[in-house]
Structure 1
Amino acid sequence: MANEQQPQRQEIKIADNIPGGEYANMMQVSHTQEEFMMVFMNVAGLSGKVVSKVQTSPGHLKRIVAALADNIKKYEERFGEIKAADAPQTQTGLGFEDRK
């Protein structure tokens, strides 16, 4: 038993250019065969800004979706059902839309 190796602990550092979290109330998703691209935006009225862009592989995105679904289930078990909000209406064409 003395020779049993302990699992190595993974150390993850936050990059200096990421000071804190950003709030997003809009998102666009697009994809190619090799990757998914997600653009997160904070929009108020007729103005807004892109706060984050994330690109990932299709396989990893499936794991992200599964983790989000699991956490939504746990949230709703604790706090009750989440009512889906209506998509924001804008004249710019931005929003929670599927880009083909």
Structure 2
Amino acid sequence: MADQKNQPPKQSQINIELDEAVAQGIYSNLAIINHSVSEFVIDFVTIMPGIPKSKVKSRIILTPQHAKRFLKALNDNVKRFENAHGEIKDYEQPPIPLNFGPTGEA
């Protein structure tokens, strides 16, 4: 028993599957983020020039804790990308008027 106390705890592994349809991914050039007390909702949209109507292609719902972890992970990855490839230029774009239905709250 004493030997087990000195050993680091074993980490469990998670087996994550990725089917072909999901592996193809969905292109998005707009993310709309809303939140309530209990969740963050991120809608990914593809807007095409000259086409006045678009649809939400994917929706991700996160707890506030997972949203904060996601923000940190994305920030870390952007920093690593910029260290390897140079600064990502953030070009100013005019605001897009959105007609996104009623504002909801969960």
Which secondary structure does the structure 1 equivalent of 2:58 belong to?
Answer: strand
* Seq. identity, %: 29
Please give the residue correspondences for 1:55-94 in structure 2 after superposition, counting only pairs within 5 Å: 55-87=61-93, 89-90=95-96, 92-93=97-98
Gap runs ≥5 in structure 2:
100-106
Structure 1 distance, partners of 2:77, 2:60, is 20
Aligned AA (1:11): N
Shift of residue 64 of structure 1? 0.4
Q: RMSD of the TM alignment (CA)?
A: 2.5
Instruction: Pick the structure with more helix per residue.
Output: 2
What is residue 104 of structure 2 aligned with on the other side?
A: none
How many residue pairs end up in the alignment? 91
Which is greater in Rg? 2
TM-score by length of 2: 0.71
Gap runs ≥5 in structure 1:
95-100
Specify which structure has the bigger relative contact order, considering alpha-carbon pairs within 8 angstroms and separated by 6 or more residues.
1
Instruction: Pick the structure with more strand per residue.
Output: 1
2:30 to 18, 26, 46: 26
Shift of residue 51 of structure 1? 1.1
